Amino acid sequence: MPPSAPPPQWRVRLLCILACVGTYWSASGLLRLHEVFARSDAVPPAVTVTSQERHPLRREEPTTTPSFDRLVVVLIDALRADMVLGAEALGKERGNLDELSRFMPYTRRLVDEGDALAYVAHAGVPTVTMPRLKALLSGKPPAFIDILKNFNSAALVEDNLMRRFQEAGSRMVFYGDDTWLRLFPSTFQREDGTSGFFTRDTVEVDDNVTRHLGDELDPTMRDPKSRDWDVLVLHYLGLDHVGHLRGPRSALMKDKMQEMDIVIRRVVES
pLDDT at 55: 44
Q: Which residues have a Cβ under 8 Å from the Cβ of 108 and sit 6 or more positions away?
A: 84, 85, 86, 101
What are the φ and ψ backbone dihedral angles of 177, each rounded to 5 degrees? Answer: -55, 120
pLDDT at 248: 87
**Is 158 in contact with 138 (CB distance < 8 Å)?**
yes
- How far is Cα 242 from Cα 201, in angstroms, rounded to an integer? 9
- How far is Cα 236 from Cα 194, in angstroms, rounded to an integer? 10
What are the φ and ψ backbone dihedral angles of 4, each rounded to 5 degrees? Answer: -70, 150
**CA dihedral for 74, 80, 86, 90, sign (positive or negative):** positive
pLDDT at 4: 59
Q: What is the pTM assigned to this prediction?
A: 0.75
**Is 166 in contact with 224 (CB distance < 8 Å)?**
no
Q: Which residues have a Cβ under 8 Å from the Cβ of 122 and sit 6 or more positions away?
A: none
Which segments in the chain show pLDDT lower than 50? 33-60, 150
pLDDT at 109: 94
* pLDDT, tens digit (0-9, with 9 covering 90-100), for 32-63: 544 444 444 444 444 344 444 444 444 445 56
Report strand pairing: 172-177 vs 190-194.
parallel
* pLDDT, tens digit (0-9, with 9 covering 90-100), for 178-216: 999 999 999 999 999 998 778 788 999 999 999 999 999
| Cα distances (angstroms) measured from residue 90 to each of 85, 103, 122, 168 | 7, 17, 12, 37
pLDDT at 197: 76
- How far is Cα 22 from Cα 196, in angstroms, rounded to an integer? 36
Q: Is the peptide bond before 224 cis (omega within 30 degrees of 0)?
A: no
Element (H, E) at 192: strand 190-194
- Of 188, 200, 182, which Cα lies nearest the Cα of 243? 200
Which residue type sits at 228? D
- Of 241, 34, 242, which Cα lies nearest the Cα of 157? 34
pLDDT at 38: 45
